[in-house]
Amino acid sequence: MNPQIALPILIPLMAGAVSLVFWRSRSMQRFIAVAGTASLLLTSLWLLVTVNRDGILVMQMGDWPAPIGISLVADLLGAIMVVLTGIIGFAVALFSLATVGRGHEAYGYFPLMHLLLAGVAGAFLTGDIFNLYVWFEVMLVASFALLILGSEKAQMEGAIKYVALNLVSSVVFLVAVGLLYGMVGTLNMADIARRLATREDDGMVDVLAMMFMVAFGIKAAAFPLFFWLPASYHTPPVAVSALFAGLLTKVGVYALFRVFTLIFHQNPGYTHEILLWGAGLTMLSGVLGAAAQFEFRRILSFHIVSQIGYMILGLALFTPLAIIGGVFYIMHHIIVKTNLFLVSGIVHRLRGTYQLKSLGGLYRSHPWLAVLFLIPALSLAGMPPLSGFFAKFVVIRAAIEAEAYFVTFIALLVGLLTLYSMIKIWAEVFWKSTPPEGDVDPYPAINSREMWLMSAPVVGLALCTLFIGLNAQPIYALAEASAAQLMAPERYIEAVLGASEVTP
């Protein structure tokens, strides 16, 4: 029995339920938010340590043996993702204490946040394809409600696009699951992989692979399916934006990694080639979209899209080094991107706007904030010695080794354009002098407790970035071990189904 597999799902679910019990008590909900996410972080670390030591952990729900019951499976990639969920959940919970208004809290901000985390953790840990769909829906419903908290006009417009496209993606996913079941007669991912491996290739497998690619591509905001993301991510309160930016698209990326390494890996000449083109175009269109924007969070939203391209590039090249790069990139990106959104939240709290044109002079008034922005920003652009450098280095080196020179060129160009965007924000928000009308805007003074609560998670995440950057070897070794598991799907199958069933 391995309770640590189920705990990262159960803890946020319980925390959400208890928060609902204390519906009227604001202080109690805030306490549970911090305590719940902190214990999520601790159990996820416990899970990662155990998985790293003992290999893939499996838990059969209700003790039904593998292909019949639902399995929870924690391999290294899943465990790493859960740890990142814990880190982001904890950071955002702290940040929410200072930034989420009384009105939002009264309408259930904290219970929804816990539900979202439970859905995300469930998606990372499940070993059953239909169960994955259910966790996606849990996550989506919570994100829908979080997105429209506050009911502003922009939120409504963004939410309609977000809801419509994500529901379409869910239906495509559901149809693909149904057809897959009709073909192989099982829902357990390990069992599906085992049965597909013995099947004659008749084209239907590729059709299903494409359906999964479209469904997860919408969730991950890959080209040409990303238009819902820049239309909606800049509308909700900033803590919600940061949570979404860090976790939601990465669940789609994780699902792509899982499905295209475990289940659909027989025909990489077809499926992974399409992924490769998709990755290149995702990087390029995202970064070019960002270049045209002059709103803090919109620039960051477009950069989510372009960074997703790097992760999918790692998967698409499908060499051991490329998968290492992809996993490393996910680890670095989740932390950095959330941190940038949190910094934009502090800027908004200080100046009352996200428009670059009306911001300025923050380096003079808050030099420490400028440094805190530079760390994740330069890391995103891939400056050594920060985490992004090593992530980009591994992915690009894998691309060169695979002789995919065109994509290599795009990846390098996108790195440069990312630097341009980040320097644009730096110059407009921090470096240039305060524009004259900026002083006229009345914004409420900020007390020191609020400032501490907002900057603590930003400092913590910046330290994580520095830690990954300056101490890259152990993190690289972790990514390497997880990539080794991904490239050897028979280990996953053996762990879930038991050694005797691997060779049918």
Residues at the contact surface with other proteins, assessed by CB under 8 A: 130, 134, 137, 140-141, 144-145, 148, 151-154, 156-161, 163-164, 167-168, 170-171, 174-175, 177-179, 181-182, 187, 227, 230-232, 234-235
Nearer to other proteins (CB atom), residue 24 or residue 153 = 153
Side-chain half-sphere of 135: how many Cα atoms within 13 Å? 25
Nearer to other proteins (CB atom), residue 75 or residue 128 = 128
Nearer to other proteins (CB atom), residue 16 or residue 158 = 158
Nearer to other proteins (CB atom), residue 34 or residue 168 = 168
Neighbours of 20 (CB within 10 A): 15
Q: At its nearest, how many Å lie between other proteins and the CB of residue 158?
A: 5
DSSP helix, strand, coil percent of the chain (3-state; round to 5): 80, 5, 20
Q: At its nearest, how many Å lie between other proteins and the CB of residue 151?
A: 6
State how far the Cα of 364 lies from the Cα of 325, in Å rounded to an integer.
Answer: 38
Specify the residue for token string 């999520």: 40
Nearer to other proteins (CB atom), residue 298 or residue 333 = 298
C-beta contacts of 466-474 below 8 A and 24+ residues apart: 466/375, 466/386, 466/387, 468/331, 468/332, 468/335, 468/387, 468/390, 469/379, 469/384, 469/385, 469/386, 469/387, 469/388, 469/389, 469/390, 470/385, 472/387, 472/390
Q: How far is CA 6 from CA 9, 63, 118, 125, in A?
A: 6, 13, 10, 8
Neighbours of 302 (CB within 10 A): 25
Q: At its nearest, how many Å lie between other proteins and the CB of residue 373?
A: 24
State how far the Cα of 247 lies from the Cα of 42, in Å rounded to an integer.
Answer: 18
Nearer to other proteins (CB atom), residue 50 or residue 170 = 170
Q: At its nearest, how many Å lie between other proteins and the CB of residue 162?
A: 10
Q: Which residues of 209-235 are buried (b: 16+ CB within 10 A; e: fewer)?
A: bbbbbbbbbbbbbbbebbbbbbbbbbb
Nearer to other proteins (CB atom), residue 151 or residue 355 = 151
List phi, psi (to 5°) of 152. -90, 165
Indicate if the alpha-carbon torsion angle 491, 493, 497, 502 is positive or negative.
negative
Nearer to other proteins (CB atom), residue 175 or residue 207 = 175
Angle between helices 238-262 and 76-99 (to 10 degrees): 170
Nearer to other proteins (CB atom), residue 142 or residue 324 = 142
Tokens of 401: 């080794």
Q: At its nearest, how many Å lie between other proteins and the CB of residue 154?
A: 5
Q: At its nearest, how many Å lie between other proteins and the CB of residue 464?
A: 31
Q: At its nearest, how many Å lie between other proteins and the CB of residue 130?
A: 6
Nearer to other proteins (CB atom), residue 240 or residue 407 = 240
State how far the Cα of 181 lies from the Cα of 195, in Å rounded to an integer.
Answer: 11
Strand partners, 57: 74
Q: At its nearest, how many Å lie between other proteins and the CB of residue 298?
A: 9
Helix (H, G, I), strand (E, B) or coil at 58: strand
Q: At its nearest, how many Å lie between other proteins and the CB of residue 227?
A: 8
